[in-house]
Structures are given as structure tokens and as C-alpha cells.
């Protein structure tokens, strides 16, 4: 299995430039696509802006346990390291790598094809 080639997109100059929800989730836009980001105890995480279960906006959720996000609608909880739900329902939330660098906050999107980042 080969390595994924990522294109990094700067989404903010610094953490304070991101508008954070009450649940500690920020929403950024890259080429017209909304992506949620969060800062957990182990680093930064990027994930889909809608819940794979019922399509609820993840910006309305909240971060818990350092690296999990909870959807407000049905309380499904997803591990932000791998996107798997921890409730055992079988859903997977799309995740994206995020890096905080000296020159800003960046989200990595897989290159090569229309369906790579859905």
C-alpha cells in the first residue's frame, strides 16, 4: 500500500484566528469544502463537517476525552485519530491531518481525484 500524497492548505495564521464553537470545534473552508477542526490533548484533528449517521452539522458537536467528537443529534462519538465511532454503530467519520506550524494552521487533503476527500 502506497503513501497518500497530501496537498497542505493554510486555514489560519494562528489558532486565535479560528472562530471556535462552544464545543471547541472550528469550521474552515478549503476550495468551497467545509471541514471541521479541533485541538485535542494529543494535537490537532480535522474531520468532516457532517455526521455520517444522519448528516447533522458536526460544528454543533463537542470535543470530549481529548480526541473524540460527539454529534449533538444522536450522541454518536467518533475517535478523531481514525474516524471510527466508539458506540459500535459501524459509522466512520472522514478525518484529515492538521498541522500547527510556526507560519499557521494547515489541513492536508489527499491529491489525485475528485473522490479522494469525501
Q: Is the pLDDT of residue 113 over 90?
A: no
| pLDDT greater than 60 at residue 17 | yes
In this prediction, residue 1 has a pLDDT band, given cuts at 50, 70 and 90, of very low
Beta strands in 1-118 (DSSP E): 6-12, 26-30, 33-40, 43-48, 62-64, 68-70, 77-79, 95-96, 98-101, 104-110
Give pLDDT tens digits for 62-94: 999 889 999 999 999 999 999 999 999 999 999
Q: 40 pLDDT exceeds 90?
A: no
> Helices in the chain by DSSP H: which ranges?
none
CA torsion through residues 9, 10, 15, 16, sign? negative
- Looking at the domain that runs over 6-112, which CATH code has it been given? 2.102.10.10
Average pLDDT score over residue span 47-72: 95
pTM of the model: 0.89
Amino acid at each position: 500500500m502506497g503513501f497518500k500524497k497530501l496537498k497542505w492548505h493554510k486555514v489560519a495564521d494562528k489558532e486565535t484566528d479560528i472562530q471556535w464553537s462552544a464545543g471547541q470545534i472550528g469550521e474552515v473552508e478549503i476550495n468551497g469544502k467545509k471541514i471541521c477542526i479541533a485541538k485535542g490533548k494529543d494535537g490537532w484533528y480535522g474531520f468532516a463537517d457532517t455526521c455520517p449517521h444522519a448528516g447533522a452539522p458536526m460544528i454543533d458537536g463537542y470535543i470530549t476525552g481529548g480526541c473524540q467528537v460527539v454529534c449533538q443529534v444522536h450522541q454518536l462519538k467518533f475517535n478523531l485519530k481514525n474516524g471510527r465511532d466508539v458506540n459500535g454503530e459501524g459509522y466512520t467519520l472522514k478525518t484529515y491531518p492538521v498541522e500547527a506550524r510556526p507560519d499557521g494552521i494547515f489541513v492536508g487533503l489527499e491529491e489525485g481525484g475528485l473522490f479522494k476527500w469525501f
